[in-house]
Amino acid sequence: MTSTNTGGIDAESLSVRVSDFLGEHDPGTSDRLEFLRARFDAGLAWLHYPEGLGGLGVDPGLQPGVDRAFAAAGAPDNKPHTNIIGLGMAAPSLLRFGTLEQQRRWLRPLWTGEDIWCQLFSEPGAGSDLANVATSARRDGDDWVVNGQKVWTSLAHDASWAILVARTDPTQPKHRGLTFFVCDMSARGVDVRPLRQITGESEFNEVYLDDVRIPDTQRLGEIGQGWAVTQNTLMNERVAIGAGTIPRESGAIGELAKVWRERPELRTSGLHDQVLRFWVEAEAGRLTAERLGQQQAAGLPGPEGSGAKLTYARLNQQVSALELDLLGDEALRYTDYSARRPVIVTHAESPAGWRYLRAKGNSIEGGTSEIMRNIIAERVLGLPAEARADKDVAWKDLPR
């Protein structure tokens, strides 16, 4: 690890901390979960988080060096690909808007993977226009009673907790009458139903909330502040999705490059330039996403994340299509379209046909590509905003 002075802790002193930790907790003999809990408690989980919450309050740029040191020692990781919503979206929201009690309650089991999280945002009538959500939350003493329907909820069937945006004041314009909650997915009245995808899998769900009681202690942010919390969560989400190509040659581009190198008999005239162009675009996207990830870690996710997400979706679809073209008939040997709950796998563990089909969802999930372009135009390039006649109208008075 290179030397970087930050808040009195540099890379060399972090190396010593990691070495001392590994000396006390042998990865070869330690229980996996106990090892991860101890790493969190030592502040070596996410370094930029405050002390006592898994970090040391130092530069997030030091994180990769610490992660490499643990990996080199054979230490278990927290399987981040199985809890992307928790790590990439819920945790930053908890850090920015949660109380210390909430942070202490949820961050440790979230980071260790003991608790999987999902996101109860989209609804049948509020997808791209998320501020139009109709799920209601009515105050009843120390609780909120929630009713409504959410859709396209990834991993709701595995989740212990969910971040939830609901309407608490229908007399306010749609952006101002929302409040943000943490919902216990095992609470009475939560009904999770699978949605079958083109791959045959059901990683997405629709979730019905029928008189679900949420204690006010599980409210995140102030009453009516839900849109501000949601915006922060969405910006973190887009950075998390856009960072799906880290490290170099991971994801779809890695599989395409592997086929190109190892199967020379599949190469046809004129395709080399296309493969190389996609590789360069993927590398540029990866480096951009890495920089945005550092901004995210510093608590500064910006609208630029929409560009990373847009690029990731487009490239995934183009690259997976080119791989299919290269493999020809061989790529069509994807026969398991049976309805099933997915086992989360990496690109390398799945067939090319699956990668091609699954990539179709990349331009929808986490915000459609059309919405990403609007955000880039208005909030990055400063172009005039689209006319919106409903911004100052009470939500209850809007036509449906």
Structure confidence by residue, pLDDT tens digits, 81-105:
889 899 989 999 999 999 999 999 9
Encoded amino acid at 250, one letter: S
The residue annotated as part of the active site, out of 123, 201, 203, 237, is 237
pLDDT per position as a tens digit, 31-72: 999 999 999 999 999 999 999 999 999 988 898 899 999 999
The candidate with the shortest Cα–Cα distance to 190, out of 216, 160, 169, is: 160
CATH class of domain segment(s) 229-380: mainly alpha
**Domain-by-domain residue ranges, the chain?**
12-77, 117-224, 229-380
**How many residues belong to the chain?**
400
pLDDT per position as a tens digit, 328-374: 888 877 666 666 776 555 555 678 888 898 899 888 887 788 888 88
The topology (CATH level 3) of 117-224 is: Butyryl-CoA Dehydrogenase, subunit A; domain 2 (2.40.110)
Q: Is 255 in the active site?
A: no
The more confident residue out of 10 and 291 is: 10
Query: In what helix (H) or strand (E) does residue 308 lie, and over which residues does it extend?
Result: helix 305-327
What number is the average pLDDT over the span 394-398? Answer: 91
Decide if pLDDT at 163 tops 60: yes
Query: Cβ(181)–Cβ(214) under 8 Å?
Result: yes
Mean pLDDT value across the chain? 87
Hey, what are 210's tokens?
A: 């029928």
Q: Phi and psi for 278 in degrees, rounded to 5? A: -65, -40
Residue reference for tokens 């204690």 = 215
Task: Look up the pTM and report it.
Answer: 0.84
pLDDT band, very low/low/confident/very high, at 7 (cuts 50, 70, 90): low
What is the Cα–Cα distance from 341 to 132, expressed in whole angstroms? 30
3-class secondary-structure state, position 1? coil
Highest mean pLDDT (candidates 41-45, 295-299, 326-330, 382-386): 41-45
Decide if pLDDT at 185 tops 60: yes
Residue reference for tokens 């046809």 = 268
Instruction: Find the helix packing angle between 305-327 and 226-242, rounded to 10°.
Output: 40
